[in-house]
A and B are shown apart, each in its own frame.
Chain A
Amino acid sequence: NAGVMQNPRHLVRRRGQEARLRCSPMKGHSHVYWYRQLPEEGLKFMVYLQKENIIDESGMPKERFSAEFPKEGPSILRIQQVVRGDSAAYFCASHPAERFPGTDTQYFGPGTRLTVL
């Protein structure tokens, strides 16, 4: 069972460009989370999605950031007009639909490291 996959692993953008980060959850998982990690800090929640639905985007900046999880294909985190402060590692996590003991754990992907020049 493949783990959570993210691509690209490294992404370099110039200020003003767009960044697209992709996440494929573990097989059978229909819940996806995006987190952002600044150097030497813990992960900060950004957005929680289920297929075709945004459940909670309270951690995502109101402007320039958007996320989707279509019926088919990976989840996408999109950052428009990137600025230097967007440089960080972005992690995706997933877990199954059902909530019972043993399934609450979120499993993380390897992350995408975004560098804005």
Chain B
Amino acid sequence: GESVGLHLPTLSVQEGDNSIINCAYSNSASDYFIWYKQESGKGPQFIIDIRSNMDKRQGQRVTVLLNKTVKHLSLQIAATQPGDSAVYFCAENSGGSNYKLTFGKGTLLTVNP
């Protein structure tokens, strides 16, 4: 079946280090990908998105890389801060007129001061 999944369920980093969170997807028809951050007790918060016609997109301290050949997505967070501690989800949309998102299970990022 089509799915989006994450390689690592947990990631612990030191404050100031760079973090990399990975995601694999299996639907080759997916044309839009989003990373969300979810803090405890809150709804998912949009971080960055990328379309399938791009390989890389940068935001403020975050970069998303898309490798369509191996169906792999990654989120890089530069100079990780304690406030970055949260669960990170990748989500994909397979295009067409239905915008529903398929989410991965999530990676818990813990930033140690």
Contacts and interface: CB of A to CB of B under 8 A. Distances in A.
Contacts of B104: 42
Contacts of A53: none
Given A45-B100, A110-B42, A111-B42, A104 B93 contact: yes
B25 interface: no
A12 interface: no
B45 interface: yes
B98 A111 contact: no
Given A104-B49, A104-B93, A105-B34, A45 B43 contact: no
The 8 closest A-B pairs by CB, nearest first: A42-B103, A108-B43, A45-B100, A43-B103, A108-B44, A110-B43, A42-B105, A111-B43
Identify whether the interface residues of B are mostly helix, strand, loop, or mixed. strand
B99 A31 contact: yes
B101 A45 contact: yes
A42 B42 contact: no
Interface in A10-60: 31, 33, 35, 40-45, 48, 55-56, 59
Contact of A105 (B43, B46, B89, B100): B46
14 contacts: A33-B100, A35-B101, A35-B103, A41-B105, A42-B103, A42-B105, A45-B100, A93-B101, A95-B99, A105-B34, A105-B46, A106-B46, A106-B99, A108-B43
